[in-house]
Amino acid sequence: MAGVWQDQGHRVSVLNGPAGKCEADLIINHIDLTVTPVDHLAYLRCFPKALNVAVVDISKRMISKMLVRKGEPYHGRVIVKSDLNSSGSPEASLALKGLMPPSYCQVLPAYHVFDGVDEVPEVIWNHRAVIVERFVPERSGEFYCLRTWVFCGDRESNSLSFAQVPIIKQKDVVRRDVVPEVPDELRQMRDELGFDYGKFDYGIVDGEVILYDANRTPSLGTFRREEFMPRVRHYAEGLASFL
């Protein structure tokens, strides 16, 4: 999107941290960490407008309404996830360099589904790096479904992906449909979490909107440039709603 904005005549600067002075009409919180550091937040608030300045913590414990705690009388399937975004890999990279506490070196690269809470190992319940949630996937016939809403200001896209595996990654998708309508409940969640720009993964199960993940630094995966540029230009137009 930065390249599109430059083509439109905007001056775009990329800052690696809060040091130094920069004159700008708008700054974007595009920090690839689950929790925005305090010094970065202070720097963001020095600018006339800051996107996602309210999105301080996107950990699963902060956004999830499906958490299962040890001892709760829940009898359905559960899923174990990393509490941190991107399995905690950005934090682990910094921890290996001595820039974050050693406890952040642990990464949970894969999700795990258990048939019930009794099957969850004891070490999971006592581990701050992971969370246990109700496993409530959206289904359509033989397929598992994942809905994805990407937005920047007033520009957005909303899609429904189908796969034959419960944990859906890009490589698993067998079909993806455009879904024009974004549920009002999801828009309310966006407002409550303070997102100006980002991506929500969600499902609709028995009429209930369930937010699986919220990301303030989304990417378009492994798509070739010519395929994703129309979408990038679409999202980039959302900048105008902030200026």
Is the same domain home to 216 and 129? Answer: no
- Residues near 229 by beta carbon (within 8 Å), at least 6 away in sequence: none
Q: Is the pLDDT of residue 193 over 90?
A: yes
Distance CA 236, CA 167 (A): 30
Is the same domain home to 106 and 140? Answer: no
Is the same domain home to 110 and 211? Answer: no
Is the same domain home to 187 and 236? Answer: yes
Element (H, E) at 209: strand 208-215
Q: What angle do CA 57, 62, 66 make, to 5 degrees?
A: 150
Is the same domain home to 45 and 153? Answer: yes
Is the same domain home to 126 and 113? Answer: yes
Is the same domain home to 174 and 125? Answer: no
pLDDT in tens, 122-179: 989 988 889 999 999 999 999 999 999 999 999 999 999 999 999 998 889 999 999 9
Q: What is the pLDDT of residue 222?
A: 56
Residue 218 sits in a domain whose CATH number is 3.30.470.20
Q: Indicate the residue among 113, 135, 157 that finishes a domain.
A: 135
Q: Which domain holds residue 19?
A: 2-66+136-241
Element (H, E) at 149: strand 143-152
Q: What is the pLDDT of residue 7?
A: 94
pTM: 0.93
Coil, strand, or helix at residue 215?
A: strand
Higher pLDDT, 187 or 221: 187
Q: What is the pLDDT of residue 176?
A: 93
What's the mean per-residue pLDDT of the chain? 92
Q: What is the pLDDT of residue 225?
A: 65
Higher pLDDT, 125 or 223: 125
Is the same domain home to 24 and 95? Answer: no
Is the same domain home to 98 and 143? Answer: no
Is the same domain home to 200 and 103? Answer: no
pLDDT in tens, 42-73: 999 999 999 999 999 999 999 999 999 988 88
Phi-psi region of 114 (alpha: psi -120 to 50; beta: other; left: phi over 0): beta
Q: Indicate the residue among 92, 118, 135 that finishes a domain.
A: 135
Is the same domain home to 232 and 151? Answer: yes
pLDDT in tens, 226-238: 678 888 999 999 9
Q: Is the pLDDT of residue 183 over 90?
A: yes
The count of domains in the chain is 2
Q: Is the pLDDT of residue 240 over 60?
A: yes
Is the same domain home to 78 and 194? Answer: no
